[in-house]
Amino acid sequence: MNSTWSDTVKTKDGEVIYTWHPNKIVDGIREHQVYGFCINREGKVTLGRDKEETRYTLPGGRVDPGENAREALIREFKEEVQFEPKDIELLGSLEVEVRDNSGKVSDHHQQVRFTCKIDDPGEFTPEKDGWETVERIFVDPKELPNYIDWLHYPTGKIQYQEFLATLDR
């Protein structure tokens, strides 16, 4: 695939432009969030669920000051699903540009996506060390759209297709 894809979503306050950049982190744009498609040895993807949430998400979250995207991914995995991912590879980044109705940019950042693996995730303890994750599950990759809403949007579909393509390598 390896093509850049964009999607514009109109809001009452303006618009949000999402641009998928496969296999790259865009220089000069703040790395705001990271998420990882992590496969266990049975070929299933790791998801977590926070307390007071009904939805599951890929492990990930914000990039803290002084961290790079890869470091943030490792930290978020340890906090949320309680293991360190291995064989981390860049899938790409989702550039997010928020514009008001006059066209002025109010936010511009990127969310970095990775693929990774885990042999033995070990035991999981809900809300360990005060973190908000209460459940960790592993699902078949083909079932991910049943769990993750953003995979139904144009740039989400592309990310998902590119992730599935990595499973065939």
Res 130: pLDDT: 86
Cα gap 67→23, rounded to integer Å: 20
What pLDDT digit, counting tens, does each position of 121-146 carry? 999 999 998 888 999 999 999 999 99
Mean pLDDT of 65-70: 96
Name the residue ranges covered by the structural domains of the chain. Answer: 5-167
Buried b (16+ CB within 10 A) or exposed e, 42-78: eeebbbbbbeeeeebbbbbbebeeebebbebbbbbbb
Given this model, what pLDDT does residue 104 score? 97
For the segment 44-59, what is each residue's pLDDT rounded down to a tens digit? 999 999 998 999 999 9
Q: What are the contacts of 144-147 at 24+ separation with CB within 8 A? A: 144/45, 147/47, 147/55, 147/56
The model's pTM is: 0.94
pLDDT for the residue 1 = 52
In words, the CATH class of domain 5-167 is alpha beta
What are the start-end ranges of the H helices in the chain?
69-80, 154-167
Tokens of 28: 């000069």
Angle at 34 between CA 7 and CA 107, to 5 degrees: 50
